[in-house]
Amino acid sequence: MRIIQGSVNSPLGFMASGVACGQKKNGDLDLAMVASDRPATAAGVFTQNVIKGHGLQLTRQYIRGKLARAVVINSGNANACIGEDGMKDAIEMAAAAAARIDCPAEQIMIGSTGVIGQRLNMPAIKRGIDLAFAALDETATGAENAERAILTTDLVSKACAVEIDLDGCRVTVGGMAKGSGMIHPNMATMIGVITTDCAIDQPLLDQILRQAVNKTFNRVSVDGDTSVCDMVIAMANGAAGNTSIEEGSTQAAILLEAFETVSTELARMIARDGEGATKLIEVVATGAKSSEDAYKIVLAVAKSPLVKTAIFGEDANWGRILTAAGYSGADFDPEDIDIYLGDLMVCAKGCALDFDEALAKKILQEQDIVIRIVLNEGNASDRIWTCDFSYDYVKINGSYRS
């Protein structure tokens, strides 16, 4: 497997574009289109929030057909909690894109992200779809514009691509994502699109996508909130010409690794770009009695405001980490637990150590920080990515609508 410079239009047969249609007040790009030149096998995972945006509801319905020609995503407006008009607008978006691409409307997946409770400006959206179709491009420019067009409070675009060899064929997996705030496992304020030119049946694509998402996008937490428009859509169009891969095969394992690699890179980018973040934090728990215990601990530590603010302040306050593990609901003996900041042990067997405070400060000044929690009770482990809480997080979210 080779990581390459690329994005959603790196696999054969895919194109992308991003345009400005007026959903964002500042005039930035706000409508993206990712299209395949042929019907692609499609799979998706969606937010577990009971409240769901209208475009997401429609996409969940359409993806049951197992085929897609395009994903259309607008930013600046979530098209959520509008009632019948919201669903009507989502249907109209899909129909407008289908008319341009010349495919059934049910093969258009719709995504929206932004402010909740405001109706879409449909004349502007329709103009944007026309512009996006005309601008579809296989080059880096098309991908970069699509990546920018889906951003909300994000500061940077997020993309990754890899190449693998299957049956003598070069197969590419590419992806783009957005997400900066309202990020938490079980999906969050993030939208991802993963494309591949691999030939694969829908049930296996669905299985691979879910496995990859569970280890990656569902292991990111910025602030503990989950939103209403979150989804990851995968499309596989078979343009690479490989023999369709089968469940349990070596080829399936290789493709899963490619999906996990792309998803991991995108997930880390989301955590690093958390609203107001200055540091990327990886929380790792090892030696747990069960996978569930390890997950509970990393989740509790990752979403603790006290841990996150301590990391921002470069304060080696390991007691906050121990406390979060203690209320996580995990089963462990407090007298067995060790805690590390990077390679520096700061707590042994649940008790304080006379560690080097200057060295701890130096570790916490880095942009990438690993918190390691060793339970010494079993063989299970887990990890999650998060970020620190800075003053800017409050500023960003105190004036989101304005």
Q: How far apart are CA 85 and CA 322, in angstroms?
A: 49
Residue 276: DSSP 8-state: T
148, 158, 192, 110: which is closest to 19 by C-alpha?
A: 148
Give dist(CA 338, CA 357) in Å, integer.
17
Give me the catalytic one of 41, 59, 152, 189: 189
Whole-angstrom Cα distance, residue 256 to residue 391? 39
Instruction: Return phi, psi of residue 388, to 5°.
Output: -80, 165
CA diameter of the chain: 69
- According to DSSP H, which parts of 135-224 are helical? 140-149, 202-215
- The residue ranges of DSSP E strands in 55-107, in sequence order, are 67-77
Per DSSP, 235 falls in state: E
Q: Is 189 a catalytic residue?
A: yes
- For residues 51 and 82, the answer to whether their CB atoms sit within 8 Å is no
Q: Which of 349, 62, 7 is nearest to 178 (CA)?
A: 7
Distance (Å, whole) CA 366 – CA 311: 10
Name every residue whose Cβ is closer than 8 Å to that of residue 112 and which is 6 or more positions away in sequence. Answer: 53, 54, 55, 56, 73, 74, 75, 77, 78, 79, 80, 90, 120, 229
Strands (E), 244-299: 280-288
Which of the residues are catalytic?
Answer: 189
